[in-house]
C-alpha cells in the first residue's frame, strides 16, 4: 500500500503541466494552459490545466483531476501503477506501507522474468521454419510480428532453462510461465505454440497467449491470473493500438489475438481483444474513455452471438450519452482475420460503418420470438426488458429506450416506469422558482469554492458546523479529513483524496468554477465574508421565528435568546465595518 502522505508529497513534486504535456501539447491562455480535450472530441479547446492549483478541468466533458488522475485516465493505468510511474519520472522511490505485504506486491523481477521469456521466444521464432511458415501462411509480415513481439515456444518441456538464470526461481511459477507438478517437478506451460505477449499500457509484458500451430487442444492457451495479469482488466493489443484509437476515435473489440494482429496487418490498427473472458464493464469503461465509438465485432456463429449479448449486458451500465456502441456480426463462416484477408480493408471498414447500434441490437433481440400482437407477448417483452432498461444510467439513452420499449408494449413511458418502480428520466420541466437569483451563488457554494482553492481553511470552520445537501456533506467530509491529518493540504491532494468517493462530483464542479480565479484572489477574505453572511442568515431566520410568536407570549429564555441573537448580529455587522 502507498502511504497517503506520499501521495501528497508526490503531487507537490510533480508539475501537472509537465505531466500533461508528455501526452497532450498545451497552450498558454491567461493564467492557465489549454488544449483540445484528449477525453472527448472537440474543435476548440475546453480542456484547462491550472499550474498554480495543480489540477485540470474540461468544460466540455467534465473530465477532471490531478496529475495522478490524468495519467490514470489517459494511459488507462491503475492508481498504484500511475503513482509508481510518476514517482519514477521525478526520481523518487515509492515507500511501501508494511501492512499487507503478501497481497498484491509485484516484485519488479516478475516483469524481468516476463521480459526474458519474451526475448527468448522471439529468438526461437527466428530459428523455427515451421513457425515462420505458419505465420507467413496467415499473411503476417515480419514487421507486424515484431510490432506485437510474436515468438515461438519450442516443443520441449523445459525450454525456459535457456532463458533464465534459475529455473527453480519461484517467480517462474508465480508468473504462470512454469507449472509445478506433483513432487515439485517443473515444466513449461507453453510448448510448441506461437507466443503472443500480452502487454499492459506501460508496455510491460504481463502474460502470454499461446496458439497451437497444427491441430490440438486447447487451440489457445493463456497465462493464468497472476500478480501481473488480471484478465478482466486487460485488453490484448491496447498498448499498440492506443495512438490509432485516439486518432480515429474508434476502437474495435474482436475475439482473439490473431484477429487483432491480422487486422493490423491490413492497416486496421485500432483493434483490441479480450483475453479468454467475456467483455467486462471495466473493459467497456476503459474503451469509452479512449474513444467516441466502440464496435464489438463477433463471429457469426452461436458462440459469437452469445458473446455479443454478454458484451451488451456489461456495456449498459457504462453507456455515455453521445458515445456510440455498435455491434458487427460477420457472416457465419468468417472471423475478422479471414474476412479482411478475403475482402480487404475497405470492405471491412464499410461493415464497421454499417454496424448495428446498441439500441437496435437490444430491441431486435428483445422482440425476437415474442408475439407483440398478443397481451401475453407484450407482457413477456416488458419482463425481458426490465433488467436491461434499469441498468442504463445515461439519461438520454435511458429515456429513448424506455420510450421505444413502452411503445412496442403498448403502454406509456410513465406506465412502464411505474411498473418497473424506476424514477422517470425526464422530470417535467418545472417553472423557474420565483426568486432564484442565478447570478449570486448560495453561501454554501461560495464556501465550497473557497475550500477547493485552499482546503486548509476547513480547519477554521466551527466544530459544530453543519451544512445541507451535497455541498454541506462534502464540506463536512473535508473538515473531517483535515482534522485527521496534520499536513498542509493542497487542492491537488484534496482532489486526489476524494477521487472515486461520493463527494468527487461536488468538488469537481467547484473546481471548474475556480480554475479561472486568479492567484491574487483573496480567498481568506472571501471565506470569512461568506461564513459571516451565512451566520447572519441563520440569526435572521431564528429571530424571525421567535418574533412570530409575539413578544408577549415568549418565555423568559426565549426572550433572552432573542437578545443574544441581536447582540451577535450587531457584532457581525460591526466587523464588516
- Closest approach, Cβ 498 to Zn ion, in A, equals 20
Partner residues linked to 208 by β-bridges: 197
Return the H-helix or E-strand segment holding 328. Answer: strand 324-329
Number of Cβ within a 10 Å radius of residue 545: 11
CB of 51 to Zn ion, least distance (A): 19
In angstroms, what is the minimal distance from the CB of 271 to Zn ion? 25
Q: Report 246-265 residues binding Zn ion (CB under 5 A).
A: none
Residue 321: CB minimum distance to Zn ion, A: 14
- 49: β partners: 33, 56
DSSP H or E stretch at residue 55: strand 55-58
**CB closer to Zn ion out of 57 and 211:** 57
Q: Which of these segments, 29-37, 67-75, 441-449, 460-468, binds Zn ion (CB under 5 A)? A: 29-37
- Nearer to Zn ion by Cβ, of 19 and 425: the residue is 19
Q: Which is nearer to Zn ion, 63 or 416 (CB)?
A: 63
Pairwise CA distance, residues 53 & 71, whole Å: 17
Among 37-45, 187-195, 306-314, 502-510, the segment contacting Zn ion (CB under 5 A): 37-45
Q: Does 39 bind Zn ion (CB under 5 A)?
A: yes
Classify 179 as helix, strand or coil.
strand
Q: Which is nearer to Zn ion, 59 or 220 (CB)?
A: 59
Q: Supply the minimum distance, in Å, between the C-beta of residue 65 and Zn ion.
A: 12
Binding region for Zn ion (CB under 5 A) out of 34-42, 77-85, 403-411, 555-563: 34-42
CB of 61 to Zn ion, least distance (A): 3
14, 26, 37, 131: residue in contact with Zn ion (rule CB under 5 A):
37
Pick the closer one to Zn ion by CB: 40 or 283: 40
- Cell, residue 162: 535457456
Beta bridge partners of 250: 293
Task: Count the residues of the shown chain that bind Zn ion, applying the rule CB under 5 A.
Answer: 7
Q: Which is nearer to Zn ion, 71 or 261 (CB)?
A: 71
Residues 48-87 that bind Zn ion (CB under 5 A): 58, 60-61, 63
Look up residue 163 and give its three cell numbers: 532463458
Residue showing cell 519488479:
108
Give the interface segment with Zn ion, choosing from 30-38, 161-169, 387-395, 473-481 (CB under 5 A). Answer: 30-38
Which DSSP state fits 48? Answer: E
**Does 40 interact with Zn ion (rule: CB under 5 A)?**
yes
CA–CA distance, 449 with 507 (Å, rounded to integer): 8
Which residue carries 503531487 as its cell? 11
Residues 94-153 that bind Zn ion (CB under 5 A): none
For residue 92, state whether it binds Zn ion (rule: CB under 5 A): no
Nearer residue to Zn ion within complex by CB, 40 or 189:
40
Residue (153 or 242) nearer to Zn ion, CB: 242
472-488 as b/e, with b when 16 or more CB fall inside 10 Å? Answer: bebbbbbbebbeeeeee
Q: What is the DSSP string of 477-520?
A: HHHHHHHH--S---HHHHHHHHTTSTTHHHHHHHHHHHTTS-TT
C-beta closer to Zn ion: residue 249 or 543: 249
- What's the closest the beta carbon of residue 27 comes to Zn ion, in angstroms? 16
Which one, of 81, 105, 116, lies nearest residue 227 by Cα? 105
Minimum CB separation of residue 273 from Zn ion in Å reads 28
- In Å, how far are 23, 34, 240, 403, 508 from 243, measured between CA atoms? 11, 21, 7, 38, 28
Which residues in the 178-237 window bind Zn ion by CB under 5 A?
none
CA distances from 517 to 32, 415, 448, 453, 491 (A): 10, 48, 14, 9, 13
What DSSP assignment string belongs to 108-155?
HHHHHHHHHHHHHHHHHHHH-HHHHHHHHHTT--HHHHHHTT-EEE-S
> CB 63 → Zn ion: shortest distance, Å?
5
Q: Which stretch binds Zn ion (CB under 5 A): 38-46, 265-273, 288-296, 302-310?
A: 38-46
Cβ 512 to Zn ion shortest distance, Å: 11
Q: Nearer Cβ to Zn ion, position 292 or 313?
A: 292
Closest residue to Zn ion in the complex (CB): 37
CA 542-545-551 angle, to 5 degrees, is 115
* Residue with smaller CB distance to Zn ion, 35 or 260: 35
Q: Give min distance, CB of 507 to Zn ion, in A.
A: 18
Task: For residue 58, give the H/E element and its range.
Answer: strand 55-58
Does residue 528 belong to the site contacting Zn ion (CB under 5 A)?
A: no
Query: What's the Cα-to-Cα distance from 132 to each of 67, 119, 531, rounded to whole Å?
Result: 44, 16, 74
The smaller minimum CB distance to Zn ion, of residues 24 and 475, is found at: 24
Give yes or no for residue 45 binding Zn ion (CB under 5 A).
no
In the complex, the smallest distance separating the C-beta of residue 250 from Zn ion, rounded to whole angstroms, is 17
Residue 36 in contact with Zn ion, rule: CB under 5 A: no
Judged by the rule CB under 5 A, the positions of this chain that interact with Zn ion are 37, 39-40, 58, 60-61, 63
Amino acid at each position: 500500500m502507498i502511504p497517503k502522505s506520499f501521495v501528497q508529497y508526490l503531487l507537490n513534486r510533480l508539475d501537472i503541466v509537465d505531466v500533461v504535456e508528455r501526452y497532450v501539447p498545451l497552450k498558454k491562455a491567461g493564467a492557465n494552459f489549454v488544449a483540445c480535450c484528449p477525453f472527448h472530441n472537440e474543435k476548440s479547446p475546453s480542456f484547462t490545466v491550472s499550474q498554480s492549483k495543480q489540477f485540470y478541468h474540461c468544460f466540455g466533458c467534465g473530465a477532471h483531476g490531478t496529475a495522478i488522475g490524468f495519467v490514470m485516465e489517459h494511459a488507462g493505468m491503475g492508481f498504484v501503477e500511475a503513482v509508481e510511474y510518476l514517482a519514477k519520472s521525478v526520481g523518487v522511490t515509492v515507500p511501501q506501507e508494511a501492512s499487507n505485504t503478501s497481497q498484491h506486491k509485484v516484485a519488479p523481477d516478475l516483469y524481468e522474468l516476463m521480459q526474458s521469456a519474451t526475448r527468448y521466444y522471439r529468438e526461437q521464432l527466428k530459428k523455427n521454419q515451421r513457425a515462420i511458415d505458419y505465420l507467413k501462411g496467415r499473411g503476417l509480415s515480419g514487421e507486424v510480428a515484431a510490432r506485437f513481439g510474436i515468438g515461438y515456444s519450442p516443443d520441449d518441456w523445459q525450454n525456459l532453462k535457456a532463458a533464465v538464470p534459475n529455473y527453480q526461481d519461484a517467480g517462474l511459477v508465480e508468473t504462470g510461465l512454469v507449472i509445478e507438478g506433483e513432487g515439485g517437478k517443473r515444466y513449461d506451460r507453453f510448448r510448441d505454440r506461437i507466443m503472443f505477449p500480452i502487454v499492459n499500457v506501460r508496455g510491460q509484458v504481463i502474460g502470454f497467449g499461446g496458439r497451437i500451430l497444427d491441430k490440438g487442444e486447447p487451440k489457445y492457451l493463456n497465462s493464468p491470473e497472476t500478480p501481473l495479469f488480471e484478465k478482466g482488466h486487460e485488453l490484448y493489443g491496447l498498448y499498440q493500438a492506443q495512438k490509432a484509437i485516439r486518432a480515429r476515435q474508434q476502437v474495435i473489440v474482436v475475439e482473439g489475438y490473431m484477429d487483432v494482429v491480422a487486422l493490423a496487418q491490413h492497416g486496421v490498427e485500432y483493434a483490441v481483444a479480450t483475453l479468454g473472458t467475456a467483455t467486462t464493464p471495466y473493459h467497456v469503461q476503459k474503451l469509452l474513455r479512449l474513444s467516441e465509438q466502440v464496435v464489438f465485432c463477433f463471429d457469426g456463429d452461436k458462440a459469437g452471438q452469445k458473446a455479443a449479448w454478454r458484451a451488451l449486458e456489461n456495456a449498459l451500465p457504462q453507456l455515455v450519452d453521445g458515445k456510440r456502441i455498435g455491434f458487427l456480426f460477420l457472416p457465419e463462416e468468417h472471423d475478422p482475420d479471414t474476412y479482411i484477408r478475403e475482402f480487404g480493408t475497405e470492405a471491412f471498414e464499410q461493415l464497421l460503418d454499417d454496424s448495428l447500434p446498441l439500441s437496435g441490437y437490444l430491441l431486435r433481440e428483445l422482440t425476437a420470438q415474442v408475439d407483440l400482437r398478443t397481451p401475453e407477448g407484450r407482457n413477456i417483452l416488458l419482463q425481458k426488458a426490465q433488467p436491461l432498461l434499469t441498468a442504463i444510467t445515461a439519461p438520454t439513452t435511458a429515456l429513448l429506450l424506455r420510450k421505444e420499449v413502452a411503445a412496442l408494449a403498448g403502454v406509456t413511458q410513465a406506465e412502464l416506469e411505474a411498473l418497473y418502480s424506476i424514477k422517470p428520466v425526464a422530470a417535467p420541466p418545472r417553472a423557474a422558482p420565483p426568486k432564484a437569483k442565478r447570478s449570486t451563488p448560495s453561501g454554501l457554494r461560495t464556501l465550497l469554492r473557497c475550500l477547493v482553492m485552499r482546503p486548509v481553511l476547513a480547519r477554521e470552520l466551527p466544530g459544530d458546523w453543519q451544512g445541507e445537501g451535497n455541498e454541506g456533506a462534502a464540506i463536512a467530509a473535508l473538515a473531517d479529513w483535515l482534522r485527521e491529518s496534520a499536513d498542509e493540504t493542497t487542492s491537488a491532494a484534496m482532489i486526489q483524496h476524494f477521487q472515486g468517493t461520493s463527494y468527487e462530483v461536488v468538488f469537481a464542479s467547484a473546481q471548474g468554477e475556480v480554475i479561472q480565479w486568479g492567484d491574487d484572489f483573496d480567498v481568506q477574505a472571501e471565506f470569512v465574508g461568506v461564513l459571516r453572511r451565512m451566520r447572519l442568515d441563520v440569526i435572521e431566520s431564528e429571530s424571525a421565528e421567535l418574533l412570530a410568536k409575539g413578544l408577549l407570549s415568549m418565555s423568559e429564555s426565549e426572550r433572552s435568546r432573542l437578545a443574544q441573537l441581536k447582540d451577535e448580529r450587531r457584532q457581525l455587522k460591526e466587523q464588516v465595518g
